[in-house]
Amino acid sequence: MQETLKLLRLSKFTYSQSMQYTRKIPGQLYLLIAVIMFAASNSIVRKLTDIGAQHLVEGRNPISLCNVLFVSNLCALLVLIPGFYREFNWQKLRKISRQEWFFLLIVAILSGALAPAFIFTALSKTMVSNVIIIGRVEPPLILALSVLILGDRINRLEIIGTFISLVGVVLTFSLSGVQNNYLLSGFMGLGTGEILTLLAVVAGVIATIITKAKLKHISLGIYINFRLLVGTIVFFILANVLYGSHHFAEAFSPFLWQWMLLYGILIVAVGQFFLFKGLKSITISEASLVNSVSPIAGIVAATLILGEKLTIAHYIGGIVIIAGLLLTQIGIWKKTSPQKRVSKPDSMQEMDAKIGFKGI
């Protein structure tokens, strides 16, 4: 009995020690880890599909892009819903108006189903590096719409920085002359994958603007889980309508699930946890600075995981994009007071949307 009590005291002491230790970890580190994980997700998805292609089931790839999106979402829901169960109470749900439910549904379809579906399809059509670079069109679009629709105030450095980043994207594809799967042959070297990425960006930008304008008072747990759940259902229905019911024939393959449990928990669920942990304790400008690492981390991951070889166009365009990011960050830093925290739900939702594709 005494030994049992000693073990209980020891476990309690160890737990309290670990909790104290995690509180000492700076929010910037939590957010940095989350951003790196999300930035690497595109390359990991492509790598997983390559692994699946080497283990066909009745001639079909069990780790197809559609299966990855559908099953990883299910795995993430198994982790995230229990983590936010306290927020799903009748009092909080009753406070959400019909209009807010409607806009929440639109956001879930756009950012939870359409945007990731476009991204996943784009990954099968072009280099991961191209998907990441095209994704840098998102900040200028959000900035422009925030000013025009929401009346946000921005300074000159933010305008110049985002414009330079946009020039870097255009410059990359103007110089590269991608030679596969054109939808608009000869226009900036954009192929099918790049066009699909642009569609994903547009869907994500619209969702972000709606979130900023109409969903400021929605609980973050309800926002994330509703978006993920509805997005998964909508994607499943669309895929069945477009490709037929056989499209998810290998969705419950043990070989698929052993990889998806790892991917869904580590990239999606743990990444989201680190994201929320980081955003609760840092300023908006600090969050923006950490998030600026995302394109660099994504391209490095594509090089290390997939062995993608960057062209001169990628290097030139990348340098211009980084220069634009630095100017934008300086502009954000100057206009944001140190006291303005991101612990408010609307700020956290906004940053969650801005970070982009997170393996969901």
**227-282 per-position pLDDT tens digit:** 889 999 998 898 888 777 777 878 888 888 888 887 877 777 788 778 777 777 66
Which pLDDT belongs to residue 145? 84
The DSSP symbol for 60 reads B
Instruction: Reduce the DSSP state of residue 232 to 3 states and report it.
Output: helix
Contacts of 160 (CB under 8 A, 6+ apart): 324, 327, 331
DSSP per-residue codes, 271-304: HHHHHHHHHTSSBHHHHHHHHTTHHHHHHHHHHH
Which of 70-79, 116-125, 187-196, 284-293 has the least mean pLDDT?
284-293
Answer yes or no: is pLDDT of 202 > 90: yes
Answer yes or no: is pLDDT of 188 > 70: no
Which pLDDT belongs to residue 89? 80
> How buried is 252 (Cβ within 10 angstroms: 0-12 exposed, 13-18 middle, 19+ buried)?
exposed
Answer yes or no: is pLDDT of 323 > 50: yes
Rounded to whole angstroms, the Cα distance separating 108 from 96 reads 15
Q: Indicate the domain borders of the chain.
A: 27-354
Which pLDDT belongs to residue 199? 93
Instruction: Reduce the DSSP state of residue 57 to 3 states and report it.
Output: strand
Q: How many CA atoms does the CB half-sphere of 355 hold within 13 Å?
A: 33
Can you tell me the mean pLDDT for 42-69?
86
Which pLDDT belongs to residue 18? 39
C-alpha radius of gyration, the chain, whole number = 21
- Triad 342, 344, 347: Cα angle to 5°: 60
Which pLDDT belongs to residue 14? 39
Rounded to whole angstroms, the Cα distance separating 151 from 133 reads 28
Mean residue pLDDT of the chain comes to 77
In contact, 224 and 352? CB cutoff 8 Å: yes
Can you tell me the mean pLDDT for 309-338?
80
Tokens of 108: 């879930």
Tokens of 90: 């009748």
Rounded to whole angstroms, the Cα distance separating 244 from 58 reads 17
How many percent of the chain have pLDDT more than 90?
9
Residue with tokens 């304790």: 281
Tokens of 228: 């993920």
In contact, 225 and 218? CB cutoff 8 Å: no
In contact, 139 and 354? CB cutoff 8 Å: yes
In contact, 183 and 190? CB cutoff 8 Å: yes
Can you tell me the mean pLDDT for 24-35?
78
Q: What is the pTM of this model?
A: 0.78
The b/e string for 208-227 (b: 16+ C-beta within 10 A; e otherwise) is bbbbbebbeebbbbbbbbbb
